[in-house]
């Protein structure tokens, strides 16, 4: 039987592939879709950003695995804070999502047999985890959507994700819950994808550039045209192509 962690990684990989696909289709010049690695306990598994929208995404192997969030002390404290601070809850609604894998049985008339199709569903983190947090009621609704629709609509959306100010504050609030840890908006690290047009022997495509902190990420995302004029990093190493 496949390990739940392996299934969860597959969910994250498929989600990231859909993000890249829709970025290419919509001609997005720069975007962030980055795993947060060791920062996942304080913040989330994944950071997503495009233009003026920012979001955190948690990944789960399946819907049943969502309940494991209720065993994490930092998340228990987050929901305690939600109960006392409705503005924090609203920022979470805008900035924090959860994505899980689902299997659906399909039938192929050509093969004359059934098969299982893998897909992802995305919803509000607070809304989906709430039933496992002592019946905490978020008091809002959020329509669950398939991963492909979320990826498509995130780019250029004014409804998915929070603006920079709200996201920056939410990331800092998550960091404060992890008392004593070096966390917060300026500790987030990852990579931003910037589209490079064809140049000489180099084909057009996205290249990956590291950022350190949200302020650095914002500067890079606002200046893709400046980055296009660069050939190498100061260290002399070539930029990594995505």
Query: pLDDT value at position 225?
Result: 52
Alpha-carbon torsion (131, 133, 138, 143), positive or negative = negative
Terminal C-alpha separation, the chain: 32
Alpha-carbon torsion (221, 227, 231, 237), positive or negative = negative
Query: pLDDT value at position 227?
Result: 52
Entry pTM:
0.85
Give the residue-averaged pLDDT of 85-97.
94
The bridge status of strand 96-108 relative to strand 113-124 is antiparallel
Helices 86-95 and 73-84, axial angle in degrees (round to 10): 120
Alpha-carbon torsion (23, 161, 99, 213), positive or negative = positive
Residue 106 pLDDT level (bands cut at 50, 70, 90): confident
Q: Tokens 């990989």 identify what position?
A: 13
Please state the domain extents for the chain: 4-188
Residue 150 pLDDT level (bands cut at 50, 70, 90): very high
| Mean per-residue pLDDT over the chain, rounded | 84
pLDDT at residue 173 above 70? yes
The bridge status of strand 53-60 relative to strand 96-108 is parallel
pLDDT at residue 41 above 70? no
Query: pLDDT value at position 198?
Result: 80
Query: pLDDT value at position 220?
Result: 81
Query: pLDDT value at position 123?
Result: 95
Using one digit for the tens of pLDDT, what is the confidence trace for 178-226? 875 566 788 888 889 988 888 778 788 888 989 988 888 888 877 655 5
Residue 113 pLDDT level (bands cut at 50, 70, 90): confident
Residue 175 near residue 183 (C-beta atoms within 8 A): yes
Residue 135 pLDDT level (bands cut at 50, 70, 90): low
């Amino acid at each position: 039987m496949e390990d739940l962690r392996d299934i969860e990684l597959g969910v994250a990989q498929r989600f990231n592939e859909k993000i890249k696909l829709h970025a290419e289709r919509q001609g997005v010049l720069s975007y962030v879709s980055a795993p947060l690695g060791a920062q996942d306990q304080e913040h989330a598994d994944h950071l997503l950003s495009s233009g003026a929208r920012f979001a955190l995404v948690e990944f789960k192997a399946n819907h049943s695995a969502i309940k494991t969030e209720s065993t994490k002390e930092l998340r228990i404290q987050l929901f305690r804070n939600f109960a006392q601070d409705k503005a924090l809850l609203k920022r979470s609604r805008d900035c924090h999502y959860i994505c899980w894998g689902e299997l659906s049985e399909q039938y192929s008339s050509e093969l004359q047999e059934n098969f299982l199709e893998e897909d992802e569903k995305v919803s509000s983190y607070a809304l989906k985890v709430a039933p496992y947090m002592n019946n905490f009621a978020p008091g809002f609704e959020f329509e669950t959507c398939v991963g492909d629709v979320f990826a498509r609509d995130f780019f250029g959306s004014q409804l998915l994700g929070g603006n920079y100010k709200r996201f920056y504050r939410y990331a800092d609030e998550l960091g404060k819950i992890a008392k004593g840890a070096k966390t917060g908006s300026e500790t987030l690290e990852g990579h931003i994808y910037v589209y490079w047009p064809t140049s000489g022997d180099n084909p057009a495509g996205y290249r990956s550039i590291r950022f350190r902190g949200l302020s650095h990420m914002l500067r890079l995302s606002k200046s893709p045209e400046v980055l296009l004029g660069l050939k190498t990093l100061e260290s002399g190493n070539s930029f990594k192509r995505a």
